[in-house]
């Protein structure tokens, strides 16, 4: 199994766990778990995208935002600005000790699922 294949499996598993927790009724524990799973999913997604770009396109990128901008240039995602916003959202998760901020982040997580799924499908092709 190649590095990319292994990462695709990890990315898909992380996404499935994120979807699983978002399907549960909201509680503080569910909210915090969803935020943590979002972090894992985004981290695995950008690292998988990085590997894909290196192996398939010969392009090297070193940061999440740089990789998503390149993924847009390569036609893997439709809007890089949405992904940049997701990276910013992920960076805000370090402030989840603030209830108001944690709730704000949690309410945005459902809108990320379709983007993760779309990119996952493109990377698997």
Which residues form the catalytic set?
Answer: 90, 95
Residue 119 and residue 36: Cα distance in Å, rounded? 20
Q: What is the dihedral of CA 93, 5, 73, 40, to 10 degrees?
A: 0
Q: Locate tokens 């108001």: which residue?
A: 100
């Amino acid at each position: 199994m190649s590095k990319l294949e292994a990462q695709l499996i990890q990315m898909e598993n992380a996404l499935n766990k994120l979807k699983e927790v978002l399907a549960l009724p909201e509680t503080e524990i569910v909210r915090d778990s969803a935020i943590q799973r979002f972090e894992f999913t985004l981290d695995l997604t950008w690292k998988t995208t990085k590997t894909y770009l290196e192996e398939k396109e010969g392009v090297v990128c070193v940061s999440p935002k740089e990789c998503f901008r390149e993924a847009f240039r390569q036609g893997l995602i439709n809007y890089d600005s949405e992904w940049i916003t997701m990276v910013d959202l992920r960076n805000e998760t370090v402030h989840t000790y603030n209830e108001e901020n944690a709730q704000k982040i949690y309410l945005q997580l459902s809108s990320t699922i379709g983007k993760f799924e779309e990119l996952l499908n493109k990377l698997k092709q």
